[in-house]
Amino acid sequence: MSKLLVVDDEESICWGLSKLGESIGHEVAVASSAEDALEAVESVRPDLIVLDVRLPGMDGLSAIEQFRQRIGQVPIIVITAYGDLETAVEAVRNGAFEYIVKPFDLDTLQLALTRALTPSKAPDKSQAYTGAVGGLIGRSPAMQEVFKQIALAASADASVLLCGESGTGKELAARAIHQYSSRGEGPFVAVNVASLSSSLAESELFGHVRGAFTGAETDRVGLLVQASGGTLFLDEVADIPLPVQVKLLRALDHGEVVPVGSGQPVTTDFRVISATHQDLPGTVKAGVFRHDLFFRLAAFRIDLPPLRERGDDIRELAQYFLSSTIRHDAVPPTLSDEAVQRLQERTWYGNVRELRNAMEHAVIVARGGAIEVEHLPQSAAASLIDATSVDLPLDEAIAELIERWSEAKLADALETDELHEQLLQLVEPTLLKAAIAKHRGQCASAARQLGLHRTTLRKKLDEYGIADD
């Protein structure tokens, strides 16, 4: 039987956790403040503490160190109704075993209790960092999980892969991991790999010496060396050319780079955080991304949720962006409930970035007044599909367009076979172009992903005149 100490000023929480602990065979004591709990631990000697953050008097996070001094490395599960990134990071920094946001279900807490009471090495404390990263906002369960993952990533030095749609805040997450990590005082070097030409990518990343190639008039320090002591952020990492992937893998494994045109390695020590909106495992299967580099980069993976899955965060995010668009001494405009509802109904193909742009538009139109529905712009991404499909998810919008096209063709009395043929002619060239572009003109890898023989794909490219492009 283990002894649990529940520290919370809400009687209902104490009662519920007491019943849970007793039901799974543990002895449970409760305290309504950190001060009471610190007095109780000497006699109770708990094997685990469940600790609320917001308490009367001393807050829970401040009490963690005192608990450590009195009873050693007992696992502490932090619970809070006010989850944000800074709280999550501080909890992990102070050595909390788990960080759970209210309201939570008892199954989640029971699982945490079981894991915490399983003997393991207590986590080490690391240097604290104070500071905020703008834009990483949200109280939705999805974002609370992201905050916890960022806090865990910041407490280690492993490579991190950030995955998510365009505009979900991957670079903000990367900056947060860097700033809250032990490397926070070092450089943060960000590079968008997609913006580098294949001929210059190697020189940009690894540097070059004078005379290495035409136009190399001086030595250049590469980004991997510039990031030494800090973090290298590789955005759109799926676009790294294959030859460069080999050198990057060596740099990660051995901590040194060889500039272009030089035979002398240069030592560097950086942490790499990479990001992509593509299916990186899919590119590995297609043969355009090295599997060994993928596993090296994806030691710890964090998925950033799309905005459409965090509707409860939209009001807070929108108000944050409204505040950031005005002078510091001005009062930010308010959002009407109707405007918030309209924003929550959108699908946000551009995610948080699109919401920020929408708020900038609304401020200009409202001219200092409250933001109403009529001040909101039309969804730009949705309008590219069809003006009447603004509030439909992308797949549904495409399905609606195909349905309308089919109805129009059937009105012309087309037979089914002819209808299928015309639909194929409409869709297939676009799909083939996209596949060839994704695989950088490599027919073999594009054919594998499409499930076609390479010869069949080449014939289709010739048929549609894509090969000449």
Does 423 have pLDDT greater than 80?
no
Q: Say if residue 180 is in the same domain as residue 241.
A: yes
Helix, strand or coil for residue 306?
Answer: coil
Q: In this predicted model, which residue has the larger pLDDT, 398 or 245?
A: 245
- Inside any domain, residue 121: no
- Inside any domain, residue 73: yes
301 pLDDT band (50/70/90 cuts)? very high
What's the CATH code of the domain at 334? Answer: 1.10.8.60
Q: Which residues contact 263 (CB under 8 A, 6 or more apart)?
A: none
Give the burial string for 206-243 (b: 16+ CB within 10 Å, else e). Answer: bbbbeebeeeeeeebebbbbbbbebbbbbbbbbbbbee
Q: Which residue has the tokens 């995610």?
A: 351
Does 84 have pLDDT greater than 70?
yes
Q: Say if residue 289 is in the same domain as residue 313.
A: no
Domain-terminating residue out of 66, 99, 116: 116
Q: pLDDT tens for residues 29-42?
A: 999 998 998 988 88
Domain-terminating residue out of 303, 327, 344: 303
Q: Say if residue 29 is in the same domain as residue 60.
A: yes
211 pLDDT band (50/70/90 cuts)? confident
- Inside any domain, residue 394: no
- Inside any domain, residue 427: yes
pTM of this prediction? 0.62
Q: How far is CA 141 from the centre of its chain?
A: 14
Q: Say if residue 35 is in the same domain as residue 66.
A: yes
Residue 317, phi then psi, degrees to nearest 5:
-65, -45
330, amino acid identity: A
Domain-terminating residue out of 246, 281, 303: 303
Q: pLDDT tens for residues 355-383?
A: 999 999 998 888 767 889 999 988 654 45
- Inside any domain, residue 196: yes
pLDDT recorded at residue 414: 58
d(CA 88, CA 105): 19
Q: pLDDT tens for residues 20-76?
A: 988 888 899 999 998 998 988 888 889 899 999 888 989 888 888 888 888 888 889
Q: Say if residue 287 is in the same domain as residue 336.
A: no
123 pLDDT band (50/70/90 cuts)? very low
Does 131 have pLDDT greater than 50?
no
d(CA 202, CA 167): 27
Q: Say if residue 176 is in the same domain as residue 97.
A: no
Q: Say if residue 243 is in the same domain as residue 160.
A: yes
Tally the domains of the chain: 4
Q: Say if residue 283 is in the same domain as residue 346.
A: no
- Inside any domain, residue 383: no
- Inside any domain, residue 35: yes
Q: Say if residue 281 is in the same domain as residue 201.
A: yes
Upper half-sphere CA count for residue 227 (Cβ side, 13 Å): 26
Q: Say if residue 197 is in the same domain as residue 87.
A: no
Residue 446 structural domain: 414-464
Q: Say if residue 156 is in the same domain as residue 199.
A: yes
What's the CATH code of the domain at 445? Answer: 1.10.10.60
- Inside any domain, residue 406: no
What's the CATH code of the domain at 200? Answer: 3.40.50.300
pLDDT recorded at residue 275: 95
Q: In percent, how much of the chain has pLDDT > 70?
A: 85
Please name the helix (run of DSSP H) or strand (run of DSSP E) that holds residue 6, with its range, or none: strand 3-7
Q: Say if residue 294 is in the same domain as residue 274.
A: yes
